Amino acid sequence: MLSKVENKVKILVVEDNKSIIEGLEYLLKKEGFETQIVYSKKQAIDYIKNDNYDMFLLDVELPDGTGFDICKYIKEVTNKPIIFITARTEEANIVYGLDIGADDYITKPFRNNELISRIRCVLRRYPEITESKNIISCKNIKVDLKKAKVYKDSEEICLTSLEYKILLMFLNNPNTLITRGEILEKIWDIDGNFVNDNTLSVYIKRLREKLSDNNSKEHQLIQTVRGMGYMLKK
Amino acid sequence: MLSKVENKVKILVVEDNKSIIEGLEYLLKKEGFETQIVYSKKQAIDYIKNDNYDMFLLDVELPDGTGFDICKYIKEVTNKPIIFITARTEEANIVYGLDIGADDYITKPFRNNELISRIRCVLRRYPEITESKNIISCKNIKVDLKKAKVYKDSEEICLTSLEYKILLMFLNNPNTLITRGEILEKIWDIDGNFVNDNTLSVYIKRLREKLSDNNSKEHQLIQTVRGMGYMLKK
DNA sequence: ACATAATGTGAAAAATACTTGAAATTTCGT
DNA sequence: ACGAAATTTCAAGTATTTTTCACATTATGT
């Protein structure tokens, strides 16, 4: 199966209270975020080291330390939004949390809507995060997923909807061989009734035509791998 | 039939609850993992000694010990991801599990989707595991399965699709005699209509030509076993 | 040295991919 | 609902690469 490049905002949640986690994970997923939940300071720092998150929700009290420690660590290595989740009793210290670089805080128990709107509000202050999620690009071709528009060197080019789907399939799997079968299956599969095999060739030809102004073989974004399929060269 | 080198992530599951095992095995297989299930600490350590696993799912409570013991043992001998499966009652100790090197935990009963996404998430933090599944190599020849590209000493060489298929057949069965019949069957079998026997010889010749720069016999990757077939010397 | 098996060669045949134009279908504005 | 425009599909012809095969040559084991 082909992998899919995720274009979601990725949030790391550090929280050790199981009953909060359950609702939280469901909520965030539903709202279109990608989440990773960890339970301790140690684990959190581990995950941060090994992965890239766009944003952090940190509980203050953790079994092996405080969210403040994690916050300081995050601010050392990157500049991404941080929201603290605090018990009401910790409210007094939260000024400290904001001092060391957090963007907001929310006290438990919180209403789901409030959390989500705080998250979105904070994200608005980091426009580069959401913007980067709506654009896929390769070489001089850029796709704005939100507007479903395609640009060649910042000049818009018009693709039909099938051409667009095929292009996305390539952009989501750069440097990966995609067989004709896989494309036919994904784009045309209506209960096994594939389209004429040649149709795909026609689409590839048109896509190339539109994407490239230099139709020498080596300059094609979409390379054919004879006898196997096609591949987008990143 | 020829054995096939699996390019799947291989998971050792240590769990003594039969009703969990049943669903688990089916689920993991369906999601494309290779699984081995064992029921006790003793058995687990035995299997770990004798085989290479990419990842571990450990129940905490076992008839003859705890998953924590197994976790410590694993971390002594290798660095592979570990996820604990715990009953809700053991939740308190789980911080200990994470301390001794586990990557995540999940409490029973769990939803299938949650387990799978935790597994995939943890695997993402060990990129070398999934990457190693996309590369097969032997001596100075490397094959990138994702790109369907072949390299000789990190220099790309171009194979036709049949040459590629045959090479893969050899790489998937190193140090194993493969008869001409087996190759003909696997590569050319279209309802028993085999190709001219000599065709295979031609392909072997071309493959050798492309794979080696030194065409002395001993240096050939693909050795002929007179009267029997061919063998790839690892 | 002999018979047999394996290998090398190049030209013909086949397979695969590309191009083009035109027919069928869908979409969209009126 | 109708017609025009755009999109999608298909068929036929062309170009390119690969696969195949017949025959010549070389290697191997007894």
Do residue B26 and residue B118 come from a single domain? yes
pLDDT at B5 over 80: no
Contact present, A81 and A71 (Cβ < 8 Å): no
Where residue A207 sits, what CATH number does that domain have? Answer: 1.10.10.10
Do residue B99 and residue B82 come from a single domain? yes
CA B141, C1' C6: Å apart?
24
A40–B124 CB contact, under 8 Å: no
CA gap A191, A185 in Å, rounded: 10
Do residue B92 and residue B32 come from a single domain? yes
pLDDT value for A19: 82
B221 falls within a domain: yes
Dihedral over alpha carbons A94, A96, A99, A103 (to 10 degrees): -20
Which residue in B98, B107, B148 is closest to A177 by CB distance?
Answer: B148
Closest residue to D18 (CA, C1′): B160
A5 falls within a domain: no
Dihedral over alpha carbons B54, B59, B61, B65 (to 10 degrees): -10
A2 falls within a domain: no
Which residue in B99, B104, B146 is closest to A42 by CB distance?
Answer: B99
B95–A39 CB contact, under 8 Å: yes
User: How far lies A145's CA from each of A161, A171, A209, in Å?
Assistant: 13, 11, 21
Of A225 and B90, the one with more pLDDT: A225
Which residue in B32, B125, B147 is closest to A175 by CB distance?
Answer: B147
CA gap A232, B6 in Å, rounded: 27
Do residue B20 and residue B115 come from a single domain? yes
Do residue A50 and residue A39 come from a single domain? yes
B3 falls within a domain: no
A177–B99 CB contact, under 8 Å: no
Identify all chain B residues contacting A47, using CB atoms and an 8 Å cutoff: 125
A42–B98 CB contact, under 8 Å: yes
- Apex CA A1: angle with CA B106 and CA B59, to 5°? 20
CA gap B158, B149 in Å, rounded: 8
Do residue A118 and residue A139 come from a single domain? no
B217 falls within a domain: yes
Where residue B116 sits, what CATH number does that domain have? Answer: 3.40.50.2300
Q: Does B147 touch chain A if contact means CB atoms closer than 8 Å?
A: yes
Do residue A150 and residue A94 come from a single domain? no
Q: Does A111 touch chain B if contact means CB atoms closer than 8 Å?
A: no
Strand C closer than 7 A to residue A198 Cβ: yes
CA of B115 vs chain A CAs: smallest distance (Å): 13
Question: Which distant-in-sequence residues (6+ apart) come within 8 Å of A77 by Cβ?
Answer: A48
pLDDT at B202 over 80: yes
Closest nucleotide over all strands to B164 (CA to C1'):
D18
B4 falls within a domain: no
Domain of B183, in residue numbers: 135-232
Q: Which of B75, B147, B159, B187 to mutate to test the interface with A (most CBs of A within 10 A)?
A: B147
Cα of first residue to Cα of last residue in chain B, in angstroms, is 20
Q: Residues B58-70: what's their mean pLDDT?
A: 95
Given B132, B152, B174, which residue is the final one in a domain? B132
Closest residue to D23 (CA, C1′): B198
> pLDDT 10s per residue in chain A (234 long)?
555 556 789 999 999 888 888 889 889 988 999 999 998 999 999 999 988 999 999 999 998 999 999 999 999 999 999 999 998 777 788 899 999 999 999 998 899 999 999 999 999 999 999 988 899 999 999 999 989 999 999 999 999 999 999 999 999 999 999 999 999 999 997 656 678 999 999 999 999 999 987 767 778 999 999 999 999 998
List pLDDT tens digits, range B136-183: 999 999 999 999 999 999 999 999 999 999 999 999 999 999 999 999
Given B132, B148, B175, which residue is the final one in a domain? B132
A4 falls within a domain: no
Task: State if pTM tops 0.85.
Answer: no
CA gap A107, A118 in Å, rounded: 12
Given A107, A132, A157, which residue is the final one in a domain? A132
Do residue A226 and residue A163 come from a single domain? yes
Do residue A92 and residue A175 come from a single domain? no
Do residue B18 and residue B46 come from a single domain? yes
Q: Does B29 touch chain A if contact means CB atoms closer than 8 Å?
A: no
B51 falls within a domain: yes
pLDDT value for B136: 92
Q: Residues B8-13: what's their mean pLDDT?
A: 96
Q: Does A139 touch chain B if contact means CB atoms closer than 8 Å?
A: no
Which residue in A51, A176, A228 is closest to B124 by CB distance?
Answer: A51
CA gap A7, A160 in Å, rounded: 22
Do residue A73 and residue A49 come from a single domain? yes
Give me the number of domains chain B comprises.
Answer: 2
Do residue A161 and residue A221 come from a single domain? yes
pLDDT value for A90: 78
Q: How many other CB atoms are there within 10 angstroms of residue A211's CB atom?
A: 21
